[in-house]
Every structure is written in structure tokens, then in C-alpha cells.
Homo-oligomer: A and B are copies of this chain.
Amino acid sequence: MAGALEIDSVPPNVNGKVEILTDDLIPTAVVAEPLPKVITAAGGAPSESEDDDEGLEKPAKKSREIVLGRNVHTTCLAVTEPEANDEFTGDKDAYMAGVLARYRKTLLERTKHHLGYPYNLDFDYGALGQLQHFSINNLGDPFIESNYGVHSRQFEVGVLDWFARLWEIEKNEYWGYITNCGTEGNLHGILVGREVFPDGILYASRESHYSVFKAARMYRMDCEKVDTLISGEIDCSDLRVKLLANKDKPAILNVNIGTTVKGAVDDLDLVIQTLEECGFSHDRFYIHCDGALFGLMMPFVKRAPKVSFKKPIGSVSVSGHKFVGCPMPCGVQLTRMAHINVLSSNVEYLASRDATIMGSRNGHAPIFLWYTLNRKGYKGFQKEVQKCLRNAHYLKDRLRAAGISAMLNELSSTVVFERPRDEEFVRRWQLACEGNIAHVVVMPNVTIEKLDVFLNELVEKRSTWYQGDIQPPCIAADVGKDNCVCALHK
């Protein structure tokens, strides 16, 4: 049996005949067997399914069913085998251009109506379009060039140095890299913690990002979930109880610089104090700060717990596609040089010691970050943080004025409020929901005008949802009685 796929013979004349390639040039002959079955739509034209997103202006659909492995198969854009005469007719090019143009329209609409995720959708990297022709790969360690020359390490290290200044660590004392996302930062930080303390126990508040618990499972670490306050911050009295119960083992802590749902900032200083009071000396704990979104906002907010390597922390991660804004997910991970050797292994293939998780790494992301950091500077970010906090307060105040339960943590731009009753409304505004609550994350691209459109729509919809006996939900359990204005608490 010679290598080729034999799922089915190619249907004759369906999508251009698949010629048998003859080859008398090389000993390792290319297969002459039929190629995999080609895909065509019923009408003979390539199938393009309706994008789910385009249905938003239509009447509400049936409630979404989540069936693993099915939902998107029905709406996917199948890859089709080219016709023999495609280049002559241009049909395929025209078809693909049509798909892309419609997709772009969808993206524009979806970008416009987005409030729920902490992504700054306002960026213009037009000047970097020229680089899309290159396969830029920073494989391996950012500080050591590999033999592969098409990289962007010079940009990457510039960006890392900028964050090192922000988080107060000297150039020769840190190690770090640009990750693929906040999750990779958490995976890396927790892995470094585990390598430093192989028998350490991971402590994380139950409102930590799910990647933290994923890491514990991946790395086979014991993990203690710590309770949270109503704000979403870690409850240090519960942390104390759990630390004291495990005094014999080192502690690896995930500290949230902005939780996913409530934007709550764990009190780093109190966490360190609790560790010390429980008898953990600095050589018996490792703290990873998950600064996904707020890691880049906190330095510019008064009264915020300060994230700094002058404190006994081991690593900090932040997302690049969140506050900065980037076409694709990315992030920054910084740790102490002293910790990283435990993770490195010599890999001659790359002429590089590789302490990253991914090995091959997107070389475009550092250039996007470098570009924006250069243009905005610390001062530009300061202004944007100011705007976001101001707009978040505006949103919270207007929600409350309209009789809607809502909470905004002091240091946060994440406004938590009652989950809208209509799933279609949730999807239209792309709100992230959990139980009875939803949130809006006010990012630099979220203007007062956009918030007004949202608020007016929400108030109007609510008047249709809540009539007669149907009451808005009580969310006191999530946001506290003071922030709840349900029938019982108002």
C-alpha cells in the first residue's frame, strides 16, 4: 500500500478531474493513487455556509445548544479542491474574494458591537502590513539568537525591557518572552514556580482564571482553592487557614491583578504579609502575578496594590491584545533570571536554550507591541487608563440610575451587572456571563457614545422582559446587597 489516501475515489467530473501525476525524474515517486475526496456543494459550487454572526439582526434564534464537536460544523467554510481551469476562469478567486469581503463586513459589525471582553479593538497597524509577507519566528529564547534569521528579537527585547521598567526589575536580573496569550503566561509562571518548588502547593482564589486550574492539572500539582470576598478579591483569612494547614510544604501562589469576571485586584501586600505571618520565609514561596488586563493599568491607578519585583514575587504576566490591542492574542511574561535556569535545557538544534513553553513563537506580535508602546508611551497609557475608569464609572452610575443592579470595583474598569434576560441581547453585545451576572469591560475603544447606545437598548429591552410577575434577578450573592437593587434589596 503506497502512502496515498484512499477514502474514496474522486467523483468523476465533480470538481475537475484529478490527474495522475507522472514522475520519471526522481526515485521516490509521488503517489499515483486517487487523492482525498473533494468537497463540493449540492449545486456544484463551493459551499459557503451562512456566518452565524450575520444572523444577529434577525429575530431571536432558538436557544444555543452546546454539543461538543458539532456547533460549528454546520456553519463552516469548507475548503474545496481547485477546478482544473480555475486560473483561466478566475471563478475560485472571485468566490474567495466574496467570502472574505462578507467576512470583513461581519468583523466590522461584530467589532462595533463589542463590550464584554477585555480587548482593546481600537488599533491601526497599517504601517506594519508590509511585514505580513514574512515568516517571522522567534523560535527559542528571546535573548539568544537561533540560526533562523527571519526573527524579531530586537523588537521583542525592546518590549520586554519596557515592561521590566514598569515592574521594576533590572535588565540583567529578568528573563521573559512574548507569549501567545495570557494563558501561556500563567502556564509559564506556575511551571517556574513548580520547578523552583517541586513539592509546592498551588494556592489560587476561586475567581482566578481557569487556566490556573488547568495548569495545576497539567502539571500534577496539589491545588488549594481559596475563597474570595464579595469584590472578587482573594480572602486572606481563608488563605491563612489553608497555608497553616500545609505549613510543611512550600507555597506557590497565583495572585490576580484583575480577576476575569469582576476585575478584582488581589491585595498583593496582604498576601505577602499573610505568608510571612504563617511562617513562610521568602525562600519557601513563589508568587505569580496574573496581570492579564490590569497588569498594564494598575501602575497608573492611585491606591492600586503595586506590582513590583522589588517585592518577593517570582513572575508577572500580562496580555498584549487586551489593553494594548493587537490583531492576535499575545502576552508578556517576566520572571527572575535566577529562576529560569531550572527550566532551560540545551537544544543545539536551535543554537538556543529554550525555556519558553512554545518553542516556535509568533514574531509579528512583538512588533505590534513595540509599535504601540513607542507611539503611546507610559503617558499615553496613563491617559487611556484615565478615560477607561471615567467611562466605567459613567456606565455604572447610569445602570444604577436606571434601577439595574451593578458593581464596579474601585480599581477596575469592569462593570458587573444583572445578566440580561435575552440571550440574543447578550450575543449582540458579546457580553461575558457567569450565573446571574454579566459584565462590560470598558476598554479604550469603548466610548460614551457606544455606552449610551448600549444603555438605551438595555433599558428599552428590560421594559419588555420585566412585566407583571417577572422580576429582575437578585444578584446580591454576587455583588453584595449594597449593589443589588432587586425587589428585595432596593
B residues less than 8 Å from A166 (CB atoms): 5, 36
B residues less than 8 Å from A104 (CB atoms): 130-131
Query: Provided the pairs A158-B78, A364-B327 are in contact, do residues A30 and B73 lie with their beta carbons within 8 angstroms?
Result: no
B residues less than 8 Å from A29 (CB atoms): 302
Any B CB within 8 A of the CB of A72: yes
Task: Convert A398-442 into 0s and 1s, putting 1 for each residue whose CB lies closer than 8 angstroms to a CB of B.
Answer: 000000000000110000000000000011001111110000000
Whether A96 contacts B353 by the Cβ 8 Å rule is no
One of B28, B79, B110, B121 near A159 (C-beta < 8 A):
B79
Any B CB within 8 A of the CB of A462: no
Give the contacts of A22-55 with B (CB-CB under 8 A). 23, 25-32, 35-39, 49, 51-53
Distance (whole angstroms) from the CB of A155 to the closest CB of chain B: 6
B residues less than 8 Å from A155 (CB atoms): 76-77
Whether B154 contacts A75 by the Cβ 8 Å rule is yes
Query: Provided the pairs A68-B344, A147-B427 are in contact, do residues A158 and B79 lie with their beta carbons within 8 angstroms?
Result: yes
Q: Which residue of chain B has the shortest Cβ distance to A413 in the bound complex?
A: B28
Whether A183 contacts B359 by the Cβ 8 Å rule is yes
One of B100, B187, B359 near A211 (C-beta < 8 A):
B359
Binds B, one of A222-230, A272-280, A368-376, A474-482: A368-376
B residues less than 8 Å from A303 (CB atoms): 2-3, 28
Give the contacts of A459-474 with B (CB-CB under 8 A). none
Whether B378 contacts A81 by the Cβ 8 Å rule is yes
Whether A28 contacts B301 by the Cβ 8 Å rule is yes
B residues less than 8 Å from A145 (CB atoms): 52, 64, 71-72
Whether A149 contacts B378 by the Cβ 8 Å rule is no
4 closest residue pairs by CB, A with B: A110-B149, A76-B157, A181-B360, A329-B360
Bound complex: CA of A148 vs CA of B79, how far in Å? 24
